[in-house]
Amino acid sequence: MELKHLAIRELVKENEDAPARITDRGGIIPTTEPIANQLFDTLNAAFSRRSSLTHGSFNNENEEGYPFISAFESFVSSDWNEESFTTLTDKSMTQLAAAINNPSAHTAHGGYVLFALYASDRYEYLLIALVRDKASIGFDNDLHPTEVMEVNLDQLHQGARINISTFKKKQDSYLSFIGSKEKGEITHYFSNAFGCTDVTPSRKSTGELIRAARDFCNQNNMTDRKEEVVEDVVSYLERQRTEKESANLHDIENLFDAYIPPEQAETAAGTFGSFANKGPYNVSQEFQPHTSTINRFAKLKVKSDNWSLDFTKRNLGDLNAGKDIEFDEDNGRIIINRLPSKVVNQLREALEQEES
């Protein structure tokens, strides 16, 4: 990874009733300093470890309401020098102060805001994170224990990362931001300040979840049960949709753990959520199942000139598979087993009408 620019700023909010203010402390940190790269490595690792990232894009329908979006677009089209990076951090801090001063976020606290522009593999990123200090124990010159304050880089309170390369190509899901299990606007002030309000479309998260499920099975010695696993994932999505509930990667991870072979448990158990949450799938930690996408995986509709069949895929199998619908490819037939008595009566009545 190549760290191109690094800046640290401070946002102070003494108590719930006090307004947030931007201090004069901080600014650009030379990337030639070894400590700068060490700080960035720790920060980036902390962000990458998060398994509850939400993915999405800017709210382009309301750019006026999110000035950071236009500031970021101006920066992307600039030379990316120290001056343009400073301008971006200044505007970012102004937006963050405005967001934290919103009445709905009055219980939120300030902290140190870190801005890192870096390149990794074929992509370029902007990472913005909020960290705070923590009390620790140190020694003075006489080796007397004393309390010292240090920055807790391992604990990110808020964070957002923009894949600049993907953004420039106008692709989906170039934003990743730290989600929260808590309810309320306070948990969203950081992402809202940067226009991270338009989460990945449910259609994309639903489809990518299925793709991630298949790839995870292929990579973890579960190929023979892949279709069974996918069927369970689709069934879970159908239940959540029917009950008007969100799908959650934690629930699906538990579903996967029941299928993982014992010899794979130590390395694979409890990892599907992180696997699907990161690239290339970028499935949001929580999302609304997309109806037509579920149906594409769950149902199959086949038709000829004179007839059509509409059924769930879990009921389809090869000849003699014991499924309700069997496909006899050699003879070009579809066999429907275990017809309900109601259907039998309907078919009989139809034939009797033809004969009369």
pLDDT score of 73: 93
276 and 315 part of one domain? no
Sign of the torsion formed by the C-alpha atoms of 226, 227, 230 and 235: negative
For residues 115 and 92, is the Cβ–Cβ distance under 8 A? yes
pTM passes above 0.85: no
299 falls within a domain: no
For residue 102, what is the enclosing H or E element?
none
Task: Tell me, yes or no, whether 252 and 276 share the same domain.
Answer: yes
pLDDT at 181 over 60: no
Q: Which domain holds residue 338?
A: 304-355
User: What's the pLDDT tens digit per position in 312-350?
Assistant: 777 788 888 888 888 988 898 999 998 888 889 888 888
183 vs 88 pLDDT, higher one: 88
Residues 55 and 82 grouped into a single domain: yes
Confirm whether 265 is domain-assigned: yes
> pLDDT at position 86, please?
95
Q: Is the pLDDT of residue 294 over 50?
A: yes
The answer to whether residue 232 scores a pLDDT higher than 80 is: yes
User: Which of these ranges, 85-94, 148-157, 164-173, has the smallest mean pLDDT?
Assistant: 148-157
How confident is the model over 74-99, as a mean pLDDT? Answer: 92
Tally of domains within the chain: 3
Tokens of 304: 């000829």
Residue 233 counted as domain residue: yes
14-18, 123-127, 179-183, 265-269: segment of lowest average pLDDT = 179-183
* pLDDT above 80: residue 250: yes
Q: What are the φ/ψ torsions at residue 66 (nearest 5 degrees)? A: -130, 80
Mean pLDDT score of the chain:
84
pLDDT at 254 over 50: yes
Q: Is residue 178 part of a domain?
A: yes
Q: Residue type at 92?
A: S
Q: What is the DSSP letter of 221?
A: T
Question: 140-156 burial by CB neighbour count: b if 16+ within 10 A, else e?
Answer: eeeeeeeeeeebbbeeb
- What pLDDT score was predicted for residue 62? 67
